[in-house]
Amino acid sequence: MVATAGAGPKPIPQKSLNGYNLAEAIKYCLTPQALNAADKIASKMRTESGIKAAVDSFHRHLPSEKLACDVLPDHPASWIYRKGKKQMKLSKLAAEVLIEQWRIERKDLKQ
């Protein structure tokens, strides 16, 4: 992407890297054309919110329907309750309430 933007040379494959082509690549980075392109990239990056975009993308791609508690769907599941053939995803809160109410036993919970 840097080379495409003109801010750097084309990548040099490791197997063909030598002192000569490395020196040429560094020289290219010091040209007015490369410095100008790098300034443009830097200006654009300053207006972006990379961390926010990454976090938003992470949350967009989470399979939230698979992570939700079966009892309290607005809470993330952190436990799997198994008793015989029954299986249920439970949040910490749901598990605590069900154990307190003697509906399930702690030994049947797996993280």
pLDDT in tens, 68-87: 999 999 999 999 998 888 88
Tokens 């990548």 belong to residue: 11
Give the model's confidence band at 106: pLDDT under 50 very low, under 70 low, under 90 confident, else very high: confident
Q: Tell me whether residue 21 is in a domain.
A: yes
State the total domains in the chain. Answer: 2
* pLDDT tops 80 at residue 65: no
- Specify the higher pLDDT residue, 98 or 64: 98
pTM (2 decimals)? 0.46
Q: Tell me whether residue 71 is in a domain.
A: yes
| Torsion angles phi and psi, residue 68, rounded to 5 | -80, 150
- Spatial strand order of the sheet with 86-90 comes to 86-90, 79-83, 109-110
Q: Tell me whether residue 103 is in a domain.
A: yes
| Distance separating alpha carbons of residues 41 and 29, to the nearest angstrom | 14
Domain that holds residue 44: 2-48
| Distance separating alpha carbons of residues 95 and 111, to the nearest angstrom | 11
- Specify the higher pLDDT residue, 104 or 30: 30
Please indicate, yes or no, whether residues 44 and 70 belong to a single structural domain of this protein: no
| Distance separating alpha carbons of residues 46 and 75, to the nearest angstrom | 36
Tokens linked to 104: 């399930």
Cβ count within 10 A of residue 12: 13
Q: What is the reported pLDDT for 25?
A: 97
Question: 11 with 1: CB under 8 angstroms?
Answer: no
